[in-house]
């Protein structure tokens, strides 16, 4: 009888141990699966870019309160037009912006997802580099306001010639549409009508030239 009772105790302990192991494995698998669906894409660090932009504004007598940063490496369905406040050292607003189709002289099968760049006239491409935001003018698009963009680098020196300007377009949404994409432009950084109204109000109240910087 003692041997039978001892065997029962051994089996009972083994069963309890196995149940604990199964429970732990279940919890671990749940945690792993849960983490897999809630991974957050890390926010890009623009510290160096912002510092360079501020120094450029100081050296060239540009506005030192804020500048506009467009990062065309970001998916076109996500916010990638940023208003960076130098004094607060943070982004105070952001929204969608278009990039150029860049298919005038060559095929561009990834044009909806990825921007390509060229300074060539009539290329319909976006252009990287720093711009001075110039004169406010009439536009036949969006809220009928555009700002001329003066390219300050070799990569965007044809901005005025190409009439690549900052304007709005009612086809551009005012919030993220990912995984869908924003419409394509002929190289202009076009934004939503509502966001353009904010930019227009801000630019009209600014006396010094404002920097717009397109990066990838």
Residue 8 has pLDDT above 90, yes or no: no
Q: What whole-number distance in Å separates Cα of residue 41 and Cα of residue 180?
A: 17
- Cα dihedral 190→195→200→205 (10° resolution): -140
Q: Which residues pair with 66 in a beta bridge?
A: 85
Residue 93 has pLDDT above 90, yes or no: yes
Q: What whole-number distance in Å separates Cα of residue 162 and Cα of residue 126?
A: 11
pTM of the model: 0.81
β strands within 55-128, DSSP E: 66-71, 81-85, 90-95
pLDDT tens profile 158-195? 999 999 999 999 999 999 999 999 999 999 999 999 99
**Predicted local distance difference test score (pLDDT) of residue 43:** 74
Q: What is the mean pLDDT of the segment spanning 147-165?
A: 98
């Amino acid at each position: 009888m003692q041997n039978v009772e001892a065997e029962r105790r051994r089996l009972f302990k083994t069963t309890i141990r196995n149940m604990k192991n199964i429970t732990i494995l279940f919890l671990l698998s749940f945690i792993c699966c849960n983490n897999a669906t809630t991974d957050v894409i890390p926010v890009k660090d623009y510290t160096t870019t912002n510092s360079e932009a501020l120094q450029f504004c100081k050296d060239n007598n540009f506005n030192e309160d804020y500048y506009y940063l467009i990062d065309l490496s970001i998916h076109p369905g996500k916010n990638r037009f940023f208003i960076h406040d130098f004094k607060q050292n943070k982004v105070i607003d952001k929204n969608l912006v278009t990039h150029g189709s860049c298919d005038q002289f060559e095929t561009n099968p990834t044009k909806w997802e990825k921007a390509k760049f060229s300074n060539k006239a009539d290329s319909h491409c976006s252009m990287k580099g720093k711009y001075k935001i110039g004169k406010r003018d009439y536009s036949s698009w969006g809220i009928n306001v555009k700002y001329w963009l003066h390219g300050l680098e070799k990569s965007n020196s044809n901005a005025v010639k190409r009439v690549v300007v900052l304007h709005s377009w009612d086809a551009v949404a005012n919030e993220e549409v990912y995984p869908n994409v924003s419409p394509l432009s002929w190289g202009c950084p076009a934004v939503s009508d509502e966001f353009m109204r904010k930019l227009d109000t801000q630019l009209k109240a600014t006396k010094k030239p404002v920097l717009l910087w397109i990066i990838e």
